[in-house]
Structure 1
């Protein structure tokens, strides 16, 4: 997507970010977050202290958002972690790929030396394929740790790459 820009999120972006997060939360298939969170709780989490929040925008419309943060505190704070969300109507247009690449650059600029995702739902094959194509490797499989709303307990992957 050539006209896509990624920038720091601002307070006026909250409605658009909620319009992205709400259907993902309600589906319950990819985020290990409560499906019944309301707008205030979801945005408070997305904008938690320590989260660097960005939006992906095209022609004035916000189509995606991501945050990065330290994966752990103290001795693990050199490794970044993140969460990514694309508006359901904008999937398949390269937005998640652009946000992923942007997040790697941002993480490096913030002094992180690696990116680690602690819970990539194994049934989320699009995410697994994307992260693999961007150089993350599966370094562990957590059996049955995610309660999928239709499939029941499914595996989650721990994925990692150096920056």
Structure 2
């Protein structure tokens, strides 16, 4: 069910990706981003990008990349998206667990999320359940599409 993402997979996932960025509730991406721009950010720049596929539907995806260059490249960063129809079914948990396994295989020693929107309580609780800690909170770091300015958490987990 989880495998590396292809261009065709991303194109099939584009309606979900586009809806997420247009909502301006979880990702700090421009709401008018094109498919090609999104593909570059989600699939070409990261070290790996995976999909969760059931039948002919792409229900979720994540990317994995180094969080920094040079002496900071032993810590990775990931981003996850799940289609609206598949939310609440454990996909984000499985994607995050898979990403941690892949990160270890690639030699990463820790995982860091740079900007978890504080109002995304489901994600914050899930990441904490999976062993991530909130290292700090940046006040008013995100312009939420409905709520205005909200805080962002920096979250971290050792993979050692």
* Residue 145 of structure 1 pairs with residue 136 of structure 2: no
Shift of 1:61: 1.6
Q: Which runs of 5+ in 1 are unaligned?
A: none
2:55 paired residue among 50, 56, 59: 59
1:124-143 equivalent positions in 2, closer than 5 A: 124-143=120-139
Once residues 135 and 72 of structure 1 are traced to their aligned partners in structure 2, the CA distance between those partners, rounded to angstroms, is: 22
Q: Which segments of structure 1 move beyond 6 Å, counting only runs of 4 or more?
A: none
Shift of 1:51: 3.3
1:32 paired residue among 28, 34, 37: 28
* Residue 106 of structure 1 pairs with residue 102 of structure 2: yes
CA contact (8 A) 2:67 2:75 kept: yes
1:150-161 equivalent positions in 2, closer than 5 A: 150-161=146-157
How high is the TM-score relative to the length of structure 1? 0.94
Which residue of 2 is the match for residue 13 of structure 1? 9
> Aligned-residue CA RMSD in angstroms?
1.0
How high is the TM-score relative to the length of structure 2? 0.96
Which residue of 2 is the match for residue 46 of structure 1? 42
Which residue of 1 is the match for residue 114 of structure 2? 118
How many residues align? The count is: 159
Q: Which runs of 5+ in 2 are unaligned?
A: none
